[in-house]
Amino acid sequence: GQVVGPLHGVPVSIKDHISIKGEDTATGFVSWAGKTIAENDATIVQVLRQAGAVIYVKTTNPQSLFAFETFSNIYGYTSNPHNRTLTSGGSSGGEGTLIASRASLLGVGTDIGGSIRCVEIHLIPFKYIFTFMLPASGVLTPYKGMENIVGVIGPMAHSARDLELFCRVVSGYEPWNIDSSTLSIPWNSTTAERGESDKLVIGFFTNDEVVTPHPPIIERLHKTREALVAAGHEVIDWVPMDHMKAFELAARLYLLDGGEAIRGILGESGEPAIPHVAQLLLSDPRKADEFTLAKSWDANAQRDQFRARALKHWNDTALRSKSGRPVDVVLCPAAPTLAPPQGTTRWIGYTSYWNLLDLPAVVFPSGKPFDSSAWEPANDSSRVEPRNPFDEFVGAQWDPKTFDNAPVGIQLVGRRWQEEKLMAALKHVEDAVSRFEKS
């Protein structure tokens, strides 16, 4: 036979709500099951097939996609393979679980508020999210036409090398020629390469000043910082900017229809909302007629104003760096907890913040999975008075035994339209940590 393309014979798994011709695309809704058979492949699937990939399985997502954990009335609960009492995250939980179980080499998920990153945090294969550099047409959602915060396609893999391969291959087929949602920006492999002499300026924070992360996350972040400094990179403190305000604004932007689309789809079959979706709908009891066009414009204007402030905040880091350059990337938590017990995910502000700003991010593993038997109680930092109910809930969750064998993941965030530079920075971080651990 002949080699079809650069991914010839590579099995690739696909999140359920991404269309595969002839397959169901229920998106976790009972009323859509068996009635949403795709007539065509999504663009990303078309490109992967052209590259020779074998599309062999679809993976679970939660009802409506608007959930931090993967549960639906069709498939039930998707557990964490490292510790089945813990969540796999969501909404790309099925995809992450398959990869974490080594049952998939490469997968495709989607992200609008942490859907892939929250999964990666809890399962820790590598995960990358983009800003319109990957084709997103052919993805079925209950919020078509809502472009206040746009969901994006992202690869999930076992290494940074595989992530880059995915990006390079997909870009090489010029998907912008067949998908109007994709920017005509070819992948720059030269920029994505790590130069030995390149030294980064890295912003660093361990606490968004809303919810304090659990001790193992803070510990791994500090170890990574030590490794980066030892490698000659400049690491400066990043001052968090209005993370609670950002969370509240993002929550408003996600459902400007007040959840009417989701309620309507649930009503078609009479299926009950899963707990996370029910909480979402009940927490925003506003009537649909309150969401006038003027109010939608106002919400988007607030988003744009916040993005402008955040851009200045990023650029102003040049005033504090020794090189006089603004930070290249930000190293920070991806969640305040390791994979939490099922049904207890509360705070996604560590990921949704960057979605609001439309910035690319990657979540990657930091060291070995958490071993509760080796954890010293002295490592538990004394917690201060909780700032808010989120902080109080997360603080009360901390018990080393609960999180035994849970992976520890951290997050690297790049500048807008600079995905390749983020990939290069990830390689620098991996190299610095590897050398530091061997020294």
100 and 125 Cβ atoms separated by less than 8 Å: yes
Cβ neighbours of residue 311 under 8 Å, at least 6 residues apart? none
Residue 213 has pLDDT above 60, yes or no: yes
Give Cα separations from 123 to 126, 344, 368 (angstroms): 9, 16, 12
How far apart (Å, rounded) are the C-alpha atoms in residues 242 and 353? 9
How much is the pLDDT for 119? 46
**Percentage of the chain lying above the pLDDT 70 cut:** 91
Give Cα separations from 381 to 32, 214, 392, 406 (angstroms): 48, 9, 15, 20
Q: Over the stretch 237-268, which tens digit does the pLDDT of each residue have?
A: 999 999 999 999 998 898 888 888 999 999 99
How far apart (Å, rounded) are the C-alpha atoms in residues 164 and 423? 7
Average pLDDT value for residue range 42-60: 97
Token look-up 């018990």 returns 399
9 and 50 Cβ atoms separated by less than 8 Å: no
Is 91 an annotated catalytic residue? yes
Q: Is 401 exposed, middle or buried (0-12, 13-18, 19+ CB in 10 A)?
A: exposed
Is 184 an annotated catalytic residue? no
> Across the beta sheet with 361-365, what order do the strands follow?
54-59, 11-15, 106-111, 152-157, 126-129, 361-365, 409-413, 329-333, 201-204, 234-237
Phi-psi region of 138 (alpha: psi -120 to 50; beta: other; left: phi over 0): left
Provide φ and ψ at 6, rounded to 5°: -65, -15
Using 50, 70 and 90 to split pLDDT, how confident is the model at 201?
very high
End-to-end CA distance of the chain: 48
pLDDT averaged over every residue in the chain: 90
For 109-145, give the secondary structure using H, E and C: EEECCCCCHHHHHHHCCEEEECCCCCCCCCECCCCCC
How much is the pLDDT for 280? 82
Q: Over the stretch 332-372, which tens digit does the pLDDT of each residue have?
A: 999 999 999 999 999 999 999 999 999 999 999 998 999 99
How much is the pLDDT for 242? 98
Using 50, 70 and 90 to split pLDDT, how confident is the model at 125?
low
How far apart (Å, rounded) are the C-alpha atoms in residues 92 and 396? 27
Average pLDDT value for residue range 106-126: 65
Average pLDDT value for residue range 224-240: 98
How much is the pLDDT for 196? 63
Q: Over the stretch 277-334, which tens digit does the pLDDT of each residue have?
A: 998 887 654 544 456 788 889 999 999 999 999 999 999 999 999 999 999 999 999 9
What is the CATH code of the structural domain delimited by 11-438?
A: 3.90.1300.10
Nearest to 339 by CA among 61, 81, 66, 67: 81
Q: What is the dihedral of CA 61, 64, 68, 73, to 10 degrees?
A: -60
Nearest to 23 by CA among 31, 14, 72: 14
Q: Which of 92, 104, 115, 366 is catalytic?
A: 115
Q: Which of 15, 58, 127, 421 is catalytic?
A: 15
How much is the pLDDT for 295? 85
Q: Which of 13, 72, 88, 91 is catalytic?
A: 91
Is 127 an annotated catalytic residue? no
Number of C-beta neighbours around residue 325 at 10 A = 13
Global confidence as pTM: 0.93
How much is the pLDDT for 115? 46
